[in-house]
């Protein structure tokens, strides 16, 4: 199944970013710490030019700590980029972000010379949650589905920093379908654009290959095969995802697996590391 998702408001956002980029001093790009490369929109890299960029690995509490450490090192080696693992709801992480903004833009942040920070990220990565934490009040809408924020806004933090918030933006054509499946598993691509069972199969295969013990602990599965449908059926049967006649409702069971991966009920999981991403790229 070919996965792409680019609602109409995202086209408007792309045009808006082109107009705003010359007016800002620094880019704050929010990534999903579980899939930092797959959740990094290549359009942002093209648009930012030489402007400093802070890559925030959000949902750090859901990601594998060793993988996150490797990603921070990977990003820090790139020109003009700093990286921080964060939890968007933590005020102490917000303070670290604001401090880094002042370090990277030392000539601004004073009266009459605000640091103008553009906040970008793909849908459902936690951008609105972070902005609400930064301001200390509910300014941006949040939710557990993509495309909650659909219009741009400016937010003055009253500490020498002004935020420019934009809607979450994917790219028009996702060439790397492995990344597309990771994005769908994480929730960045909505159910209106995917088949939950198809994504559930990807998730079941990944969990079986990389975190099999989590499936055993959570669902008491002890025998695994190469067929992801059997894994989903076993989970569905044990959790009562049944229809008339006692057969497993595959859609319901697949959605349950995705929901529990996204919520952290299967533990801290990373879908990619710099090493595995490079290995995959070399094969393509």
pLDDT at 123 over 90: no
When comparing pLDDT for 222 and 140, which is higher? 222
Angle between helices 250-263 and 196-210 (to 10 degrees): 50
pLDDT at 177 over 90: no
Distances (CA, A) of 222 to 205, 225, 231, 261: 15, 10, 10, 19
pLDDT at 144 over 70: no
Please state, as a whole number, how many other Cβ atoms lie within 10 Å of the Cβ of residue 271: 28
pLDDT tens-digit map of 44-60:
888 888 899 999 999 99
Report the pLDDT value the prediction gives residue 170, as an integer from 0 to 100.
58
Which residues have C-beta within 8 Å of that of residue 277, sequence separation ≥ 6?
37
The torsion angles phi and psi of 155, rounded to 5 degrees, stand at: -135, 120
pLDDT at 11 over 70: no
Rounded to 5 degrees, what angle do the CA atoms 111, 116, 122 make?
A: 155
Report the pLDDT value the prediction gives residue 35, as an integer from 0 to 100.
95
Burial 105-115 (b: 16+ CB within 10 A, else e): beebbeeeebb
**Residue 124 pLDDT level (bands cut at 50, 70, 90):** confident
Q: What is the DSSP letter of 34?
A: T
> From the CA atom positions of the chain, what is the Rg in Å?
20
Can you tell me the distance from the alpha carbon of 163 to that of 171, in angstroms, rounded to the nearest whole number?
23
Residue ranges and CATH numbers for the domains of the chain are 8-165 (3.40.50.300), 195-279 (1.10.1580.10)
Report the pLDDT value the prediction gives residue 173, as an integer from 0 to 100.
55
pTM for the model: 0.85
Mean pLDDT for 173-200 is 83
When comparing pLDDT for 258 and 150, which is higher? 258
């Amino acid at each position: 199944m070919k996965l792409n998702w680019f609602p109409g408001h995202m086209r408007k956002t792309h045009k808006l970013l082109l107009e705003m980029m010359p007016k800002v001093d620094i880019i704050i790009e929010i990534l999903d710490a579980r899939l930092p490369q797959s959740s990094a929109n290549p359009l942002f890299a093209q648009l930012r030019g030489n402007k400093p960029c802070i890559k925030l690995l959000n949902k750090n509490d859901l990601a594998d700590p060793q993988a996150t450490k490797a990603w921070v090192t990977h990003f820090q080696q790139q020109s003009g980029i700093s990286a921080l693992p964060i939890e968007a709801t933590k005020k102490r992480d917000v303070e670290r972000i604001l401090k880094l903004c002042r370090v990277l833009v030392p000539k601004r942040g004073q009266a009459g010379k605000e640091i103008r920070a553009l906040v970008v990220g793909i849908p459902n990565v936690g951008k609105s949650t972070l902005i609400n934490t930064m301001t200390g009040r509910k300014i941006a809408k949040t939710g557990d589905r993509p495309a909650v924020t659909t219009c741009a806004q400016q937010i003055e933090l009253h500490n020498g920093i002004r935020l420019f918030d934009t809607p979450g933006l994917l790219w028009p054509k996702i060439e790397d379908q492995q990344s597309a499946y990771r994005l769908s598993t994480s929730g960045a691509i909505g159910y209106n654009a995917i088949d939950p069972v198809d994504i559930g199969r990807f998730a079941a295969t990944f969990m079986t290959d990389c975190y099999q013990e989590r499936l055993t602990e959570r669902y008491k599965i002890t025998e695994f095969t190469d067929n992801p449908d059997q894994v989903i059926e076993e989970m569905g049967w044990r959790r009562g995802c049944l229809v008339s006649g006692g057969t497993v409702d595959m859609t319901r069971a697949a959605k349950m697996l995705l929901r529990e991966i996204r919520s952290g009920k299967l533990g801290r999981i990373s879908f990619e590391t710099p090493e595995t991403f490079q290995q995959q790229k070399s094969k393509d």
